[in-house]
Amino acid sequence: MITIGLTTWSDHPNLINDEQRPVQLSEYAAVFPVVEIDTTFYGVPSESTFLHWVEEVPTSFQFIVKANREMTMHPDLDQQITEAEREQIFCDFNQRMRLLIATNQLKTILFQFPPMFNATHENIQYLMRLRSLMADLPISIEFRNMTWFDDAIFPELEEFFSDLKYDLVAVDEPRGLTNSADFILNAQTKIVRLHGHNQHGWQDSGMQWRKERTNYRYSTEELRQLATKIRASGATDVCVIFNNNGGHAAAGNALELQQLLDLHFANLAPRPPQQLDLF
């Protein structure tokens, strides 16, 4: 089964005829069967927030939840936390995930590690500890450091991930940079994340870096090639997430890939009625 979704639901105006307002989750769920939540990277939402999200979508709708930044060792220049505080964040986060487990709506938890998280003994030990911290929750890991894909390391990494029941995210992003990773799509792939190929934006460190790094629109030919790779991979249950939304291209690209793959998503939310402009 192949599913397609976007990162966040609110910032995709072409899903609501380019209206200048945030897209509601219920409107998004009328088009796509899965979404990646990234607000959890910055803070752990309340239980009531998660319950509200569940109420807004069909029972078959799936959530990919991004792990909090303190769980992925992102440096925080403003505030250093203790290990006890970090473990409390894990505890709070896991409690929220149990809410989605209870409704069978947690697709996976995305651990996106920073570029400085390289293949060292210390970091491998952290990945081992991560499984005990997360218990039996589903985990997908995205690396942004090329050392993990070294020919001498990667075969052992695959076995290591299999033992710990981790899924390696297939990442499409600018190539040849120290903060990028190889695009590895195979039969074991469950999550594909598409960031675009904006090489200049990927290295941008200015005020608008978050927007610029994903400011990219995939061409039809690029999407055709991606569709071919997905079909040829042998993956039986893969979810493709478009994160190339710096210029609001993600939704259009996702819908085009859906068409190229001839996918029809069942059990979506009902589409809201269209307002009639009578005057």
Q: What pLDDT digit, counting tens, does each position of 93-107 carry?
A: 999 999 999 999 999
CATH classification code of 2-260 = 3.20.20.410
b/e map 180-205, b = 16+ CB within 10 Å: bbeeebeebbbbbbbbbbbeebbebe
Which run of H or E residues covers position 168? strand 166-168
Which run of H or E residues covers position 131? helix 121-134
4-8, 67-71, 172-176, 180-184: least confidently modelled range? 180-184
Would you state the structure tokens that stand for residue 240, as one six-digit string?
Answer: 């493709």
Whether residue 257 has pLDDT greater than 80: yes
Whether residue 279 has pLDDT greater than 50: no
Give tens-digit pLDDT for 199-209: 776 666 666 66
Rg (CA), the chain: 19
Q: Where do the domains of the chain lie? A: 2-260
pLDDT at 49: 98
Contact 38, 83 (CB under 8 A): no
Q: Give the whole-angstrom CA distance, residue 192 versus residue 125.
A: 25
Whether residue 275 has pLDDT greater than 60: no
Residue 218 pLDDT level (bands cut at 50, 70, 90): very high
Whether residue 152 has pLDDT greater than 80: yes
Contact 68, 89 (CB under 8 A): yes
Instruction: Tell whether the torsion through CA atoms of 156, 158, 100 and 11 is positive or negative.
Output: positive
Give the global pTM.
Answer: 0.93
Whether residue 174 has pLDDT greater than 90: no
Contact 272, 27 (CB under 8 A): yes
pLDDT at 179: 61
pLDDT at 180: 67
Contact 141, 168 (CB under 8 A): yes
- Taking 3-state DSSP, the helix, strand and coil percentages for the chain, each rounded to the nearest 5, stand at 40, 15, 45
Q: Is 126 helix (H, G, I), strand (E, B) or coil?
A: helix
Bridge partner residues of 201 (DSSP): none
